Structure formats: structure tokens, C-alpha cells
């Protein structure tokens, strides 16, 4: 993985507080993502990984704190300004979230149609380009999501996330539900796209194989805050959950491969 120590920040979360009634999920959480890196977010069940992602994406307004993307605080933006920032990133969700009544090509074209008007043949050409970019055959564009395997759905969702050529990509559990071979293939695809398109990638995952294969740095949500570092730095941390996660039976297997 390329070094990222001196790259400018792409995402900054400062002092984030999220609550649901009396339950405090995040209490002063900080997170910095550098431009051009793959940043993994991990944490135990109920630690608030998905809540953090929703806060960054502007889908949930936090009780306190700020979320900056390329220096613009999403928590202070509304309307057209917020939509403009959102066009600068692509998102995939855990189960793909493709529209079942639309073909793969139509799913990919949807973000484009929301921003501009193009002739049908141009839209078809762009959709086919994105389909092939993520390693799917051209004929997959005419299929509906129900006709695809789980791995193909993940790739189709990635193609849609890349429809507007965003420099920033958010992935929610991208390899969940995939067998080890398909998961490894997706990881290799992600690294290829990240290098080729010069993407910044923020990924929520529980998959240790994916973390070790793809991430420059990792942010671990523990005790309602985040501990960040390279994998080597995180491995050496003495927090009990981190020790169990990275040095438990599964962690030992991953490090040996």
C-alpha cells in the first residue's frame, strides 16, 4: 500500500456526539482520513460503525461535533451546497441497495440522470464502461439485481457508486456474505480501482482479511471514541477489545497467511 503520512486530509470528524435517547453511541469521536489512502473502520457490535458512516454521509445529523469533507463542514450545509458536496463521493451499502425494478445499467445511470441530461446512447456507453470497470461482463448491464450472484451485486453497486467519477468512496461491509475467493477478488478490484482512479476509500468492515489486504490505516471504535493507527500500531495497542480482535484465533490465522 502507498505511504499516506503526508497527504492532505480528505475527511475530518471532530468531537462527534451521537445519542439515541439516554444511549450515548459516540462521545467526542475524532477521525482523520488522508487523501489517497484506504481507511478501515472496525469495532464491536453496537459500537456505532454504521451510525458514524451515516453521520459522515449527512444521513444523520449528530448531536454535536463536525464532519468535514475537503474542508467543508457537512453539519453546517443545507440544500444545494450539501448536494454539491455529496456528489463528490460514492457509496455502497452492505446489501448493495440496488433498485430491484431497474437493470444494472439503469441503476448506474440513475446518479448521472440526477445531475445532467445526456442522450440515451451516451448513457448506455457510460453504464457499460462502469460495468466492465468493476470486472463484470457487458451483458450484466441488462440484468436485474435478482438475476445476479451476491458477488456480482457487490460489484454492480460499486459501479453505481463510481458513476459520477467521485474522488472519495465509502463502503459499508463490502465483502460481507461473500465466500473467501469472492472476497479476495473484491479486495483486489478495490486496490486496482484505488490506484488507477486515485481514490480515497473509507470502509466499514469486520473482515480481517480485507483489513490486512487493503488498509493503510485503521480506526477502531472503542469506548465511544476512535483509536487510529497503522495496522502495526493498532496491533501493539493494549486495549482489551483490540487485543482480542487482532490477536485472537482469527487474527493469528490472518497474520500467518
Q: Tens digits of per-residue pLDDT, 131-145? A: 999 999 999 999 999
On the CB side of 98, CA atoms within 13 Å amount to 28
pLDDT for res 1: 44
Q: For the chain, give the percent of residues with pLDDT over 70.
A: 93
pLDDT for res 256: 52
pLDDT for res 235: 94
pLDDT for res 254: 66
Q: Is the pLDDT of residue 94 over 80?
A: no
Query: How many of the other CB atoms lie within 10 Å of CB of 71?
Result: 9
Q: Is the pLDDT of residue 5 over 60?
A: no
Q: Is the pLDDT of residue 7 over 90?
A: no
- Span 161-207, pLDDT tens digits: 999 999 999 999 999 999 999 999 999 999 999 999 999 999 999 99
| Torsions phi, psi for 131 (to 5 deg) | -60, -50
DSSP string, 37-77: -EEEEEE-TTS-HHHHHHHHTTSS--SEEEEEETTEEGGG-
Please state the domain extents for the chain: 9-88+168-256, 99-165
Q: Is the pLDDT of residue 6 over 50?
A: no
pLDDT for res 222: 96
pLDDT for res 70: 85
Fold of the domain built from segment(s) 9-88+168-256: Rossmann fold (3.40.50)
Question: Per-residue pLDDT averaged across 78-103, rounded?
Answer: 86
Output the average pLDDT for the chain: 90
Question: Per-residue pLDDT averaged across 218-239, rounded?
Answer: 96
List the alpha helices (DSSP H) in the chain.
49-56, 79-86, 104-113, 120-133, 150-161, 180-197, 208-214, 231-235, 240-247, 249-256
Amino acid at each position: 500500500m502507498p505511504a499516506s503520512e503526508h497527504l492532505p486530509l480528505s475527511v475530518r470528524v471532530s468531537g462527534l456526539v451521537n445519542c439515541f435517547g439516554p444511549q450515548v453511541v459516540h462521545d467526542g469521536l475524532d477521525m482523520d482520513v488522508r487523501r489517497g489512502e484506504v481507511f478501515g473502520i472496525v469495532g464491536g457490535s453496537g459500537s456505532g460503525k454504521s451510525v458514524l458512516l451515516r453521520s459522515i454521509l449527512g444521513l444523520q445529523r449528530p448531536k454535536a461535533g463536525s464532519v468535514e469533507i475537503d474542508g467543508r463542514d457537512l453539519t453546517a450545509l443545507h440544500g444545494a451546497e450539501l448536494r454539491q458536496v455529496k456528489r463528490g463521493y460514492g457509496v455502497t451499502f452492505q446489501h448493495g441497495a440496488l433498485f430491484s425494478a431497474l437493470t444494472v445499467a439503469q441503476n448506474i445511470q440513475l446518479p448521472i440522470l440526477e445531475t445532467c441530461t445526456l442522450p440515451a446512447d451516451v448513457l448506455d456507453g457510460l453504464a457499460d464502461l462502469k460495468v466492465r470497470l468493476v470486472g463484470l461482463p457487458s451483458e450484466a448491464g441488462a440484468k436485474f439485481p435478482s438475476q445476479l450472484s451476491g458477488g456480482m451485486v457487490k460489484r454492480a453497486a460499486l459501479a453505481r457508486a463510481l458513476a459520477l467519477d467521485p474522488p472519495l468512496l465509502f463502503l459499508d461491509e463490502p465483502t460481507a456474505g461473500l465466500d473467501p475467493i469472492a472476497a479476495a477478488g473484491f479486495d483486489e478490484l478495490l486496490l486496482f480501482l484505488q490506484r488507477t482512479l486515485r481514490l480515497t476509500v473509507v470502509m466499514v468492515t469486520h473482515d480481517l482479511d480485507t483489513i490486512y489486504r487493503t488498509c493503510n490505516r485503521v480506526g477502531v471504535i472503542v469506548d465511544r471514541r476512535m483509536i487510529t493507527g497503522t495496522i502495526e500500531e493498532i496491533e501493539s495497542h493494549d486495549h482489551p477489545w483490540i487485543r482480542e480482535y487482532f490477536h485472537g484465533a482469527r487474527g493469528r490465522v490472518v497474520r500467518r497467511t
